[in-house]
Structure 1
Amino acid sequence: MDVLDRVRTGVLDHFGADSAGVDSASVTFLGLEPIEILRIVDGEFVHYATLGGSRHPMGDPGDLMADPVRGPRAELVLTVRAGTALPGLAKALGVLIASPAVEGVILQADALLDLGEPMWQGSVFTAALLGESTIEPVALPDPAEPVRYLTVTPVTATEAAWVRVRGAQALRDAWAEAGIDVRDPHRGAASL
């Protein structure tokens, strides 16, 4: 079983989803292998999970001696309330998960990633804050590190600025204090 088959099984098992009932979209970028975005409907929520970022360990893309096996591996999951079409979201998630291969970014909890454009059509969110996920890491054969899923929380430009100044936890505290449901694709920004 290859890396992506293991990761697909791990995420589908986590959500109790059957692969036959899961929609997917493929995103491709010049010079990179295709990235699949799984759309998993789960009652009142929809989970968008990337599949493809963990093919290779993250590291400096310019490193001529990069280890093809060792190093951190990650995928992303975005959870939103069901009921709203989010055109363009698959492309945005593809851009985020491709950032290690393109820009040498190491995806990890509390990382802030700017998209420079709306996360989906009509969205006020132009950046993403990564966090820890409840999805169990997917073990790979030694010496490869397990694949970790990280949550994606869409943030506004103002919220992104807040993270740069105060840190990720300060923004999460502001959301909690204001009772903001970050899974609502129509939510307003936190009053900072």
Structure 2
Amino acid sequence: MAEILVLVEARLRTALGEPDARAAITFLGTDRIEVLRFIDAEAGLVRYATLGMSAQPMADPTSALADPVKGPRAELLLTVRAGLADTDQVLRPLAVLAATPQVEGVVVAPGASLDVGEPLWPGAPFSSVLVAESGGLVEDLDLDAPLDPVRFLPLLPMTSNEAAWKRVHGAQALEERWLSNGTDLRDPLRKSVTLD
């Protein structure tokens, strides 16, 4: 499915510009995952995008057989403020998250929590992320039928307290809490939002 990845990379370049760096990681028994870095100097942001997760459709873990054609496809996006932390160390954790559907047989969808079990980058108060809705920064990429479109899912880093609170109250409640508190979700060093 290399042709899908060519289309995916073209969509990323159209939306985010030219990547200034890329890294490739391969885990035993999985396809290669690349992570591209895009610098938005004007906005003071760094964006990271996975490339490779969408090569295969995600399979419903309750299905006896995985459909090699049909099924949701996605890539992951992470945006952080530049220069506040060594966020380039997030490349391996992002690749781990992108390999999750192949390794663990899960479908990554909006509202889901993903955890890497260690800080996303050195000194990060986050080891997990909330998967947000696609369609904002990078538009979904329609593929020829019967293939599902590729969705570009933003990742919102969560502190351990926020992740625990989200498990009890749900993703929407956490997003509303962030919004009502004016939380800067792009701050790589931010503290947990007030939870009561």
TM-score category of the 2 structures, normalised to the smaller one? over 0.9
Helix, strand or coil for the counterpart of 1:132? coil
Deviation of the 1:173 alpha carbon: 1.5
Structure 1 pair 91/188, CA: closer, same or farther in 2 (3 Å)?
Answer: same
2:24 corresponds to which residue? 26
1:183 corresponds to which residue? 186
Matches within 5 A, 1:45-84: 45-60=45-60, 65-83=65-83, 84=85
Matches within 5 A, 1:39-50: 39-43=37-41, 44-50=44-50
Helix, strand or coil for the counterpart of 1:6? helix
- Runs of 5+ unmatched residues, structure 2: none
Distance across 2 between alignment mates of 1:14 and 1:132: 17
Deviation of the 1:138 alpha carbon: 1.0
Structure 1 pair 33/62, CA: closer, same or farther in 2 (3 Å)?
Answer: farther
Distance across 1 between alignment mates of 2:111 and 2:31: 26
Letter in 2 for 1:127: S
Distance across 2 between alignment mates of 1:174 and 1:188: 13
Distance across 2 between alignment mates of 1:170 and 1:179: 14
Q: Is the CA contact (8 Å cut-off) linking 1:112 and 1:130 kept in structure 2? A: yes
CA RMSD, Structure 1 to Structure 2 (Å):
1.7
Q: Is the CA contact (8 Å cut-off) linking 2:86 and 2:122 kept in structure 1? A: no
Deviation of the 1:85 alpha carbon: 2.2
Of all paired residues, the percent bearing the same amino acid is 47
- Runs of 5+ unmatched residues, structure 1: none
What is the TM-score when the length of structure 2 is the normalising length?
A: 0.91
Distance across 1 between alignment mates of 2:113 and 2:168: 12
